Amino acid sequence: MISSKDKGKGLLKKSDIDDADGLITNETGIALTTFYADCVPVYFLDPVLKVIAMAHSGWRGTVKQISAKAVCKMKKDYGCDSKNILVGIGPSIKKCCFEVEYPVVEEFEKKLPFSKEFIFKDNEKIGKYKIDLQSIIEKTLVSAGILSYNIENADICTKCNPDLFFSHRNMGNERGSLAGIIALK
């Protein structure tokens, strides 16, 4: 949970928020910010109780269902009703470009058996697979009680659009970062 005492951490002052791939608040005037370079930014808003959250969902966070955990935290700590929560899935690497080897596939299949329907063998490269992270995230959100029509997916691939986005898969470490920002006013 982020409060006014955390304002400016990581930008204007040293941050003691370590290893956080998710942020949540119900206070106005606080910009929750997470950084990306192909991972999936997930934005949450409960317009009824005025609660927001951000999740940085790389493949590991997706396997750990960070987006569903954000929903659970909003419900537990703020009394949100999942039926009121609106979710946005921002620009990120899509299945057309998210190429992995079998050990990553194995993690998904072990921890999220349903994910098999969103994992595809790459027909052009032996031993490579493509994973649809956004669809896996959407399914975990619906399982957490989010109404499917309350989920908006930007449906834009960061790697396919180098003129618009930084992409680690495109540029390696010689790239900038993307920022996901959400705030209550």
Classify residue 13: in a domain, yes or no. no
The pLDDT of residue 141 is above 60: yes
In a domain, 103, yes or no: no
β-sheet bridge partners, residue 13: 9
Nearest to 141 by CA among 131, 153, 129: 153
Note whether residue 148 is domain-resident: yes
Which residues, 6 or more positions from 175, have their beta carbon under 8 angstroms from its beta carbon? 37, 166, 167, 168
pLDDT: which is higher, 128 or 11: 128
Tell me which H or E stretch contains 106: helix 102-111
The CATH number given to whatever domain includes residue 175 is 3.60.140.10
Report if residue 84 sits inside a domain: yes
Instruction: Give me the mean pLDDT over the 50-73 stretch.
Output: 96
Residue 145: give the domain boundaries.
21-95+132-183
The mean pLDDT of 41-65, rounded to a whole number, is 96
What percent of the chain has pLDDT above 90? Answer: 66
Most confident of 2-16, 139-153, 154-168: 139-153
The answer to the question of residue 90 being in a domain is yes
Q: Give the total number of structural domains in the chain.
A: 1
Q: Is the pTM of this model over 0.75?
A: yes
pLDDT tens digits along 2-47: 655 555 555 555 555 566 578 999 999 888 988 888 889 999 999 9
